[in-house]
Amino acid sequence: MSQPDLPHTWDPAPLAAALNLLAGDTRAAGDIVFDFGPAGTVTVALDLDATALPRDVLDGLLAQLAELSLLAARTQTAPSRT
């Protein structure tokens, strides 16, 4: 199975922060910030009890955050539209 190519500017910190919050066994809150370079940032505020969510919901949430992380990395390496 081949691994997807990660942009060399990919920052794993936001995804690691999300994993930290979602892996807890109590209610957790925190902001996850994705840097889109000159375009700005996207901040996702989490305030939830991960133990109260079904596993498939947590997996889906984490997948969406991972997608944001990869989009942010691609944005920083993509040529400007101007």
Tell me: the pLDDT tens digits for 16-41? 888 888 888 888 899 999 999 889 99
Domain segments of the chain as ranges: 13-75
Answer left, alpha or beta for residue 34, where phi above 0 means left and psi between -120 and 50 means alpha.
beta
pTM over 0.95: no
Q: Residue 40 has what pLDDT?
A: 93
The answer to whether the beta carbons of residues 36 and 75 sit under 8 Å apart is yes
Tell me: the pLDDT tens digits for 5-15? 666 778 888 88
| Inter-residue long-range contacts of 16-20, CB under 8 Å, 24+ positions, other chains counted | 18/44, 18/46, 18/62, 18/65, 19/62
Give 48's strand partners.
28
